[in-house]
Chains A and B, each alone.
Chain A
Amino acid sequence: MIRHAPILPLLIPFAAALLQMACQRLAVQRWIGTVACAVLLLTSAWLALLADDGELRVYALGDWPAPFGIVLVVDRLAAAMTLLVAILGFASLLHASAGFDERGRNFHALFQLQLFGLTGAFLTGDLFNLFVFFEVMLLASYTLLAHGGGVSRTRAGISYVVLNLIGSALFLIALGLLYGTLGTLNLADVAQRLAQPGYDPALARLALALLITVFALKAGLLPLSFWLPPTYTAAGVPVAALFTIMTKVGIVAILRLQTTVLAPSLASLLDGWLTTLALATIAVATLGALAASRLRTLTAWLVLLSAGTLLLTPAQASTRVDAAALYYLVHSSLAGAALFLIAGEVASRRGPAGDRFTAGPLWSGNWLKLGFLVAAMTSVGLPPFSGFVAKLMLLDSLRSVDGGALIWTVVLVSGLLVMLALARGGCTLVWRQQAIAGEQPAPATAWQRSAATLAVVAAGPLLAGLAQPLSGWAMRTATQLHAPEAYVAGVLGGQPARQTDKGSR
């Protein structure tokens, strides 16, 4: 059983999706989805515990050894990201089960396929397989984005799909170049062959730069990030909460590519440009947050802001920086999801005013107002919640790097401005009232929505309370990430390097 543990986070959502497509009754689909998410949560927690012994668990699909077959690789990072997907998936599904899933057919099957694509993208050790899981994830996200209908979702959907199709074309070009140059697409094998002579370094650099570009598109690096705010604003609330992890897929892919492949052989590829663009992303996202007119738009800009902050780290190639980044990654996914869920709750209570920052009717729900305060403080990085710990760790680790002063200035000023934006928005939502004639619609309250919102909001204080064990885990994860020799030896089984034969043909 333990031997087959790495494949379980893929099989559970996939099997659930097949079952849900077979039986079309919504109540049954909900039950299957909830049970599958709970099982996925338990399995990935078990996998994360297993992976914490520092051993690399390699699962060869069909028992074809790497580099000939496709492998799934479970290290601390992959297992933890799977666990994060499961947590966010469970909360989003609980929220969606309160009625959002009735607005179109097959929501539940698509949701499980989205989880399948996400876990697959984190677990795979093969670049073409990564492409396939990206596409599974994206195809599910296209349909989940359109779920519920409406012209704003269709508008956001068309540009999102077109942009990602172009991204997929670039991904394939990069893979073709890499295969033509190195003759392999297994990540460990790519790392091994890059370290040996016998290939065209210019072509290899080009292929890897293209790959980084594609991942930057998914992560939302500045010139490629304009799709993100409208898409995340238009998506339904539980869908947007799950989407907060999608930008992280790109970031984790960049981080893994940097530590495994680039650091030993092509360390200079990210120098100079990535940190600059990440700083620009932070600046633009801060201005966007200040200009936002709805809580959901504001949250979408904050997701972009956290992506920009995380993209400061890969170019530093430092274990300490990456450890801080991993804590920040977990914190920012949950904080973004919390604000999206709260925006949905607030919108359902304010009737026609929705979550727009305009005067609206008086609404009840003190727990929700308090929850908004906690989530906002977590997002912006005020003590005593997880945002503060994350930002402190990140800034402390970035103190001695090149351009550290500039990074500190940009991050701190952006934090101040975002605090202003959130405080202004929160005051308007909670206190500015306007009498509205006529009968007020009763707010659609369901225990699933409240429970999901509270659970994700509670993650902020919880992550801060567990800061010590979590930062220890982040340090161990970053150390493992920065040991590419162990990764290569673990995946390829320590076999001697084969020569690249592509060049001689």
Chain B
Amino acid sequence: MEALLATAIGALTACGVFLILRARSFPVLLGLTLLSYAVNLFLFASGRLRLNAPPLVQAGATSTDPLPQALVLTAIVIGFGMTAYLAMLALRGLSESGSDRVDCGDDR
């Protein structure tokens, strides 16, 4: 379980970083999305991984830490809003400069 999650986070981060280093806005956007997935999984794991345990504290029953789940929820909402805004900005850059490069530069 831990190995699987760690591999997934690592792979997502690697793909995200690779895509962020591209020059065009769409791959960068995709890379940021992948990076935020990796970060959300990482945050989720910071409360330790437990199977079949509810995030509610009950006497005598095992429970999982509810706080990271709340943090992840907040992070997802914020990340989603930011990505949507970046998509709008990239579209505006495309229509204003005619190029989808991140620096709105020339294609040549």
A contact residues around B93 at 8 Å (CB): 151, 154-155, 158
Q: Which of B28, B75, B81, B96 contacts A172, CB < 8 Å? A: B75
Q: Does A177 contact B (CB under 8 A)?
A: yes
B contact residues around A150 at 8 Å (CB): 96
B contact residues around A135 at 8 Å (CB): 78, 82
Q: Does B55 contact A (CB under 8 A)?
A: no
In the complex, which residues 71-104 of chain B have their Cβ closer than 8 Å to any Cβ of chain A? 71, 74-75, 78-79, 81-83, 85-86, 89-90, 92-93, 96-97, 102-104
In the bound complex, CA of A25 to CA of B98 (Å): 34
Interface centre among A128, A154, A166, A177 (most CB of B within 10 A): A154
In the complex, what's the smallest C-beta–C-beta distance from B29 to chain A, in angstroms?
9
Known interface pairs A168-B82, A176-B46, A177-B46. Does A128 touch B36 (Cβ–Cβ under 8 Å)? no
Task: For the complex, count residues of A whose C-beta is within 8 A of B.
Answer: 29
Interface residues on B, range: 35 or more
- The reply to whether B104 and A162 contact each other, CB–CB distance below 8 Å, is no
Interface centre among B47, B86, B89, B97 (most CB of A within 10 A): B89
- The reply to whether B104 and A155 contact each other, CB–CB distance below 8 Å, is yes
A contact residues around B103 at 8 Å (CB): 155, 158-159
A contact residues around B48 at 8 Å (CB): 180, 502, 505
Q: Which of B45, B83, B90 contacts A180, CB < 8 Å? A: B45
Known interface pairs A154-B96, A179-B68. Does A173 touch B20 (Cβ–Cβ under 8 Å)? no
Q: Which of A146, A177, A502 contacts B89, CB < 8 Å? A: A146
In the bound complex, CA of A32 to CA of B1 (Å): 54
Q: Does B43 contact A (CB under 8 A)?
A: yes
Which 3 residue pairs across A and B have the least CB separation, nearest first?
Answer: A180-B46, A176-B46, A155-B104
| Partner-A contacts on B (CB < 8 A) | 20, 25, 28, 32, 35-36, 39-40, 42-43, 45-48, 67-68, 71, 74-75, 78-79, 81-83, 85-86, 89-90, 92-93, 96-97, 102-104
| Partner-B contacts on A (CB < 8 A) | 128, 132, 135, 139, 142-143, 146, 150-151, 154-155, 157-159, 161-162, 165-166, 168-169, 172-173, 175-177, 179-180, 502, 505
9 pairs, CB–CB < 8 Å, chain A vs chain B: A154-B92, A155-B93, A158-B86, A158-B102, A165-B82, A166-B32, A169-B32, A173-B39, A180-B48
